[in-house]
């Protein structure tokens, strides 16, 4: 089997901070679109998991001006290119809850990574935050570890013509002196890479998504295209809740930017698409399904380690095939056969259960991860397969998981210990196995 999270190599050794677990982020942000100026105050509530004489946070390009710990007037701090390190007046003992307030500011920009630029990025007229996997520190100080989930309250003040969409529910909106403050609350535990701010000249259109409150946000000029292409979301929600269990958040929002985007991306409780993904001809239907499925697989049920990313992407890819067969397209089995044929012609030099940081977003991780689920479904049958998925999303709702967790749950529910060999063949070995008939 793939190595357990504690034994595998770190994919992002410079991200994350030891010694504490974050409970909540309260972010108060003032942003000027015209000048790309961000002034922020982050109130971070956490609990120490070890004795701490210093507390470290991930932060890049933005400069800290003041820090307070547990209400003190000021605390000493130092800052490097990627970290802000705070020295409290008194050490924090293991098990003790503490609050750090950090004032910071600057001109936010995406950071370079092996997977391209990630984080806070200016659009032609607005902002997109695409933080996976290491972009969160470009806009707030944090413990940028996918396993460290916390609740969020995000307040953003910006020029009145712009709308702001963040994670969670819109709790308050108020305009004063030409600026509007938008306040969002995300009560469900959220990984830092899934926290987001989207700013643009958007209209926010309410949508009913099979009992789930929804919002479609986008430029008014794209309204008809957005309405057409995302008109299938209620049926998708109906399909996925039947197969995966209850939708895990209070609502679901979609943001369509005025700019074209190379790929859409998920955030907690929302997804972001480019204008090119709303073509008025349903050209991105599978991508819409993929991002919605991430709300169960990747967002609610999150990763303990980036090495298990197939649990995010393989599941979301297989969900595209589930939607296809539900909506009258190819069956999931036919999609699996076609994907298997394509993969058989590609190099088989990747271990999907631990692909390594350079290959964690390789399309073979997505497709072979999906094929792992196709093989499992063929082996155990539809009833057992969907019971496994619903139990997975229920048992680990708002938690973090590893591949081992999924294997053990599958063996438990199917009552078949030989399934371990199926997962070993698909996830831990390089040669591509044959699909079960």
Domain membership flag for residue 415: yes
CB-facing half-sphere around the CA of 395: CA atoms within 13 A: 13
CA quadruple 419, 364, 261, 178: dihedral positive or negative?
positive
- Choosing from 295, 327, 352, the residue where a domain stops is 295
> Full-prediction pTM beyond 0.85?
yes
**Which residues, 6+ apart, have CB-to-CB distance to 173 below 8 Å?**
180, 181, 182, 183
* Closest C-alpha to 134, from 150, 115, 151, 154: 115
Q: Are residues 275 and 344 in the same domain?
A: no
Domain membership flag for residue 251: yes
Q: Are residues 172 and 36 in the same domain?
A: yes
pLDDT at residue 18 above 60?
yes
In this predicted model, what pLDDT tens digit does every residue of 97-151 receive, in sequence order?
999 999 999 999 999 999 999 999 999 999 999 999 999 999 999 999 999 999 9
Domain membership flag for residue 102: yes
Determine the Cα–Cα distance for residues 342 and 355; give it in Å rounded to an integer: 19
Q: Are residues 213 and 95 in the same domain?
A: no
Query: Tell me, what's the pLDDT at 176?
Result: 96
Percent of the chain with pLDDT over 90: 97
Q: Average pLDDT, whole number, for the chain?
A: 96
* Closest C-alpha to 19, from 143, 154, 193: 143
- Copy the structure tokens of residue 426: 């698909």
Report the DSSP pairing between strands 150-159 and 179-190: antiparallel
Domain membership flag for residue 436: no
* Closest C-alpha to 29, from 251, 198, 255: 198
Q: Is 53 exposed, middle or buried (0-12, 13-18, 19+ CB in 10 A)?
A: exposed
In this predicted model, what pLDDT tens digit does every residue of 173-182 receive, in sequence order?
999 999 999 9
In this predicted model, what pLDDT tens digit does every residue of 80-90 receive, in sequence order?
999 999 999 99
In this structure, are residues 229 and 283 in contact, taking their beta carbons and an 8 Å threshold? Answer: yes
Q: Are residues 184 and 246 in the same domain?
A: no
In this predicted model, what pLDDT tens digit does every residue of 110-124 receive, in sequence order?
999 999 999 999 999
Q: Are residues 139 and 234 in the same domain?
A: no
Query: Tell me, what's the pLDDT at 9?
Result: 63
- Copy the structure tokens of residue 307: 């090495």
Query: Tell me, what's the pLDDT at 117?
Result: 94
Domain membership flag for residue 434: no
Mean pLDDT of 56-68: 98
In this structure, are residues 137 and 60 in contact, taking their beta carbons and an 8 Å threshold? Answer: yes
Q: Are residues 290 and 372 in the same domain?
A: no
Predicted confidence band of residue 6 (pLDDT cuts 50, 70, 90):
very low
Residue with tokens 């967790």: 405
Q: How many CB atoms lie within 10 A of CB 251?
A: 17
- Choosing from 198, 216, 243, the residue where a domain stops is 198
Query: Tell me, what's the pLDDT at 8?
Result: 52
Write down the H helix ranges in 186-232. Answer: 223-229
pLDDT at residue 246 above 50?
yes
Q: Are residues 264 and 405 in the same domain?
A: no
In this structure, are residues 351 and 430 in contact, taking their beta carbons and an 8 Å threshold? Answer: yes
Domain membership flag for residue 10: no
The CATH number for 69's domain is 2.60.40.1730
Determine the Cα–Cα distance for residues 198 and 100; give it in Å rounded to an integer: 26
Determine the Cα–Cα distance for residues 280 and 227; give it in Å rounded to an integer: 8
Range of the domain at 133: 17-198
Residue 155 — φ and ψ, nearest 5°?
-115, 130
Query: Tell me, what's the pLDDT at 60?
Result: 97
Q: Are residues 179 and 215 in the same domain?
A: no
Q: Are residues 151 and 32 in the same domain?
A: yes
The CATH number for 248's domain is 3.30.2010.30
Residue length of the chain = 437
In this predicted model, what pLDDT tens digit does every residue of 183-212 receive, in sequence order?
999 999 999 999 999 999 999 999 999 999
- Copy the structure tokens of residue 257: 């930017």
Query: Tell me, what's the pLDDT at 10?
Result: 86
The CATH number for 401's domain is 1.10.390.10
Query: Tell me, what's the pLDDT at 296?
Result: 98
Q: Distances from the Cα of 28 to the Cαs of 75, 103, 272, 366, in angstroms?
A: 20, 10, 22, 36
Domain count along the chain: 3
Q: Are residues 80 and 206 in the same domain?
A: no
Q: Are residues 159 and 218 in the same domain?
A: no
- Choosing from 198, 216, 233, the residue where a domain stops is 198
In this predicted model, what pLDDT tens digit does every residue of 257-302 receive, in sequence order?
999 999 999 999 999 999 999 999 999 999 999 999 999 999 999 9
Please compute Rg for the chain using Cα positions: 22
Mean pLDDT of 303-314: 97
Q: Distances from the Cα of 14 to the Cαs of 10, 146, 343, in angstroms?
A: 9, 13, 33
DSSP 261: -
Determine the Cα–Cα distance for residues 30 and 41; give it in Å rounded to an integer: 9
Query: Tell me, what's the pLDDT at 359?
Result: 96
Domain membership flag for residue 410: yes
Predicted confidence band of residue 73 (pLDDT cuts 50, 70, 90):
confident
Q: Beginning with the edge strand found earlier in the chain, give each strand of the sheet holding 252-256 in spatial order.
A: 203-209, 212-218, 252-256, 270-273, 265-267
Q: Are residues 221 and 323 in the same domain?
A: no
Domain membership flag for residue 78: yes
pLDDT at residue 319 above 60?
yes
pLDDT at residue 7 above 80?
no
């Amino acid at each position: 089997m793939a190595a357990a999270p504690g034994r595998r190599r770190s994919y992002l050794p410079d991200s994350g901070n030891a010694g504490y677990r974050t409970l909540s982020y309260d972010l108060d942000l003032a942003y000027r679109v015209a000048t790309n100026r961000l002034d922020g105050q982050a109130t971070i509530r956490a609990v120490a998991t070890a004795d701490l004489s210093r507390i470290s946070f991930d932060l890049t390009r933005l400069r800290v001006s003041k820090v307070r710990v547990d209400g003190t007037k000021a605390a000493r701090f130092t800052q490097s290119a990627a970290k802000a390190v705070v020295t409290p007046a008194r050490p924090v003992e293991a098990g003790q809850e503490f609050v750090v307030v950090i004032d910071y500011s600057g001109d936010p920009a995406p950071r370079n990574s092996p997977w391209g630029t990630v984080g806070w990025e200016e659009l032609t007229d607005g902002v997109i935050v695409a933080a996976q996997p290491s972009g969160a520190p470009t806009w707030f100080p944090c413990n940028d570890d996918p396993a460290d989930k916390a609740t969020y309250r995000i307040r953003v003040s910006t020029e009145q013509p712009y709308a702001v969409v963040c994670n969670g529910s819109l709790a308050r909106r108020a305009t004063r002196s030409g600026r509007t403050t938008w306040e969002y609350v995300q009560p469900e535990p959220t990984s830092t890479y899934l926290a987001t701010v989207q700013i643009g000249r958007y209209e926010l259109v309410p949508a009913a998504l099979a009992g789930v409150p929804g919002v479609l946000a986008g430029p008014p000029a794209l309204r008809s295209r957005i309405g057409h292409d995302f008109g299938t979301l209620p049926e998708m929600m109906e399909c996925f809740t039947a197969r995966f269990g209850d939708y895990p958040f209070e609502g679901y929002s979609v943001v369509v930017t005025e700019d074209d985007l190379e790929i859409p991306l998920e955030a907690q409780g929302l997804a972001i698409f480019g204008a090119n993904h709303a073509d008025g001809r349903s050209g991105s239907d599978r991508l819409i399904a993929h991002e919605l499925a991430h709300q169960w697989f990747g967002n609610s049920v999150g990763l303990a380690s980036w090495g298990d990313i197939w649990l995010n992407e393989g599941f979301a890819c297989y969900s595209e095939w589930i939607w296809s067969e539900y909506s009258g397209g190819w069956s999931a089995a036919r999609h699996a056969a076609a994907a298997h044929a394509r993969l058989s012609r590609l190099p088989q030099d990747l271990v999907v259960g631990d692909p390594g940081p350079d290959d964690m977003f390789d399309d073979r991780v997505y497709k072979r991860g999906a094929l792992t689920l196709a093989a499992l479904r063929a082996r155990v049958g539809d009833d057992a397969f969907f019971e496994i998925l619903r139990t997975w999303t229920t048992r680990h709702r708002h938690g973090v998981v590893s591949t081992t967790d999924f294997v053990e749950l599958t063996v438990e529910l199917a009552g078949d210990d030989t399934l371990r060999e199926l997962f070993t063949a698909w996830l831990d070995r390089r040669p591509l196995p044959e699909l079960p008939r």
